[in-house]
Amino acid sequence: MNSALLLLIALADAAFAGFRAYAGRDARIRRRPAIRRAALRGLTAGVALACVALLCAAGILLAAADPDAAYRDLDAAAGRALWVLVPYAAVVGAALLCYFGGPFRLGTLAVVAGLGPLTMLRPVAVAACVALAGSVSLPAAAVMAVGGVGVLAVEPWVHRRWYPVPV
C-alpha cells in the first residue's frame, strides 16, 4: 500500500519534472499542448526509471531468505518516505491551487514562498527518504536510492533529450 502511494507520488513528480525540463525553452504565449506533451514525456521517463527501481526491489525479494519479511521492510521504508513526501506534496498542491486559482498577488506568493523554494528542496527531500529507508534496512535504502536517483534524473534527461535549445 505504502509502496503504491510512493510510486504514485514519484510518477506525479515525473510529470512535473517533464514540465520543468521544458519550461524556459518556449517563449510562445499559448503553450497548453506543448506543456501537456512535456508532462507526458516526463511521465514516460518516470515510468522507465521507476521500472529500474522496481526491478531492484524484485531482485531483493527473489534473493531474500524470507521474502515476506523483506517485502514488509520495503513497504515500511516506503511508509517512512511518505512522512516526508506527503507533507511536501500537500504544500506543493496548496501552492498550485493558489497559483492557478487565486488572484495574481497570491499567485506570486505561491511561487516565491512555495514552488520556487520547494523545487530547490527536492534533492533534500529525496536524500531524507533514502536516510529514512536506511533506518529500516540496508536493502530498502538501496532500492530507495535507485528510485531517488531516478526521480532526480527525469528533468535533466527530458531536458537534454527534447529541449536542449529553445523550441
Partner 1 sequence: MLTYRVRVPLLEVSDLLVAHDPATLARVPVVRADAERRLAAAGDSRGVRLLRSVPVRDGGILDEAAVDARLIAVHTELQRLSQELRIGDRLAELLRPLIAAVRAGHPLPDGRIRVVDVGCGLGFLVRWLAAHDILGDDVDLIGVDLHAALVHEAQRLADAEGLRCRFVHADAFRLDVPATVFVSTGLLHHFRGPDLPAFFAAQAGPDTAAFCHYDIATTALSPIGAWMFHRARMRDPLGRHDGVMSARRAHDDATLLTAASAAAPLVPLVFEPRERSNPFCTTLRPVLGVRPGLVEPFRAGLGRAARRLAGAR
- Among 84, 76, 47, 83, smallest CA distance to 139 is for 76
Q: Cα separation of 87 and 127, whole Å?
A: 15
By CB under 8 A, the residues from 13 to 32 that bind partner 1 are 23-30
Question: Is residue 2 near partner 1 by the rule CB under 8 A?
Answer: no
Report angle CA 161, 165, 167 to the nearest 5 degrees. Answer: 95
By CB under 8 A, the residues from 89 to 108 that bind partner 1 are 104-108
Q: How far is the CB of 29 from partner 1 (least distance, A)?
A: 4
How many of the chain's residues bind partner 1 (CB under 8 A)? 25
Q: How far is the CB of 166 from partner 1 (least distance, A)?
A: 5
- Exactly one of 117, 123, 124, 138 binds partner 1 (CB under 8 A); that residue is 117
By CB under 8 A, the residues from 126 to 165 that bind partner 1 are 159, 165
- Exactly one of 113, 123, 135, 138 binds partner 1 (CB under 8 A); that residue is 113
Q: How far is the CB of 137 from partner 1 (least distance, A)?
A: 34
Q: Give the largest CA-CA distance in the chain.
A: 58
Q: Cα separation of 31 and 34, whole Å?
A: 5
Q: How far is the CB of 106 from partner 1 (least distance, A)?
A: 7
The contact set with partner 1 (CB under 8 A) reads 23-30, 104-109, 111-113, 115-117, 119-120, 159, 165-166
